[in-house]
Chains A and B, each alone.
Chain A
């Protein structure tokens, strides 16, 4: 088995672009939790990191919108946003096309995915990497789930996608880390940006740490839009990581609302079972 790390975290552009405006009493412990996440990731000694992110129209549009896509490029450029606005310098991030191709092939045995040999990273991947691999030197296998342009893939399929990713990772000799990034409740880029339903967030993360498949996939999109905003559709990325860790449970390290980041700041990990860890060592 080669999945050596699995976690989730928020990715709001404000985490970099407006970090100076966040209340330090909440921001600093949140960034501390992300430091801990980076340390856990480094201890796992991954050869590559797979990032399951939410498509924000950096790469795909409604003329041809994949429900799921995995990158297969030599390298990736990001951020797509004005680097001075995001406060993350533009750079080239290494990929691993051979590993991507093998993973995509295995994933396709269970679920259909698109692939892309050209891909630009936006804040959804650049912000997490800026915390987890600040030198941007670990090869990345990006994966996107359409969370913006309905019709959206059902949550049950996002869980299945995660299971397929796990089976693929387990078939690889490389050590692979997995990070899912998305907001929980949020109303981003609207006049309500900063509105957060913290109770909904905590309930979702309880379901996530229990890895309760039925509860995680039990939300309807109507309920999510009402209670968690259009940004809540991004839970697909987090549900996919739970699917990749079926049979494991997780720990929540941090979740507090940070309105200027437009979401709760959160960080959580799945505890991959000891047998898997022993085999991977």
Chain B
């Protein structure tokens, strides 16, 4: 259930400038409104895009969140590769890495 809540927070952030403003003004408050695990809350707290990927956030949600947080495309891909090396395979959702996360366009 908490992957659902985590993705919902990101979905609402992605599409609603008002939620973005709230997040920017009071990130802890925003985090507190969703039923997140400690690991999920930490990933949001620390802008840890790679960990959000490992936790199973759908790429179509994560890609836009990463862009909004100012991560350039190559840095976004690299953050996922680094997290994969550190934490192992994606734990949920349908965006698991293949081929050990090798490849990728540059």
Contact = CB atoms under 8 A, between A and B. Distances in A.
Contact of B80 (A17, A57, A190, A260): A190
A195 B81 CA distance: 14
> Which DSSP category, helix, strand, loop or mixed, fits chain B's interface?
helix
Interface residues on chain B, size class? 20 to 34
Interface string A81-96: 1100100000000000
B105 interface: yes
Interface in B1-37: 4, 7-8, 11, 14-15
Contacts of B11: 57, 61
A59 B59 CA distance: 16
A56 B98 CA distance: 21
B84 interface: yes
A191 B104 CA distance: 6
A225 B94 contact: yes
A74 to B, nearest CB: 19
B102 interface: yes
B60 interface: yes
Contacts of B41: none
B99 A189 contact: no
A198 to B, nearest CB: 14
A13 B95 CA distance: 18
Given A56-B60, A57-B60, A190 B8 contact: no
A27 to B, nearest CB: 13
Nearest to A86: B67
Contacts of A58: 14-15
Interface in B61-106: 61-64, 67-68, 73, 77, 80-81, 84, 94-99, 101-106
Contact of B59 (A82, A120, A188, A225): A188
21 contacts: A17-B73, A56-B60, A57-B7, A58-B15, A59-B15, A62-B7, A80-B14, A85-B67, A120-B15, A148-B60, A187-B98, A188-B59, A188-B60, A190-B101, A191-B77, A191-B84, A191-B104, A192-B97, A195-B103, A229-B98, A261-B105
Given A17-B73, A189-B62, 4 more contacts: A61-B7, A190-B53, A191-B101, A230-B95
